[in-house]
């Protein structure tokens, strides 16, 4: 079963390698989607793939890389599934 979620990650998540870490984790889990910084200081992402892999990514996103300090991973909602490589997008 394929699952695709849009999330907002808040806390100390910019300037700590969060996007690069997120891209590496998502690719390891064979997920599609994207990640980008938001002007608000949050990170926004879409994770799309097998249910278990998306759930694992959500759990990993709560921990983040070593230098981060994640306060919250909020699922904004379900979105259409993505295909292809996971990508880092420009700040919006």
Residue 48 near residue 78 (C-beta atoms within 8 A): no
- Marked catalytic residue, from 37, 69, 74, 89: 37
Annotated catalytic residue 69: no
Q: Choose the catalytic residue: 19, 27, 28, 69.
A: 19
H-type alpha helices, 1-88? 18-28, 51-63
Catalytic (active site) residue 19? yes
Q: Would you please indicate which residues are annotated as catalytic (active-site) residues?
A: 19, 37
């Amino acid at each position: 079963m394929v699952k695709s979620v849009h999330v907002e990650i808040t806390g100390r998540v910019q300037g700590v390698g969060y996007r690069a870490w997120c891209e590496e984790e998502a690719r390891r889990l064979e997920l599609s989607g994207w990640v980008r910084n938001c002007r608000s200081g949050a990170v926004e992402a879409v994770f799309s793939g097998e249910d278990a892999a998306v759930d694992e990514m959500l759990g990993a996103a709560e921990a983040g890389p070593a230098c981060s300090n994640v306060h919250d991973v909020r699922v904004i909602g379900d979105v259409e599934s993505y295909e292809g490589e996971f990508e880092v997008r420009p700040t919006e």
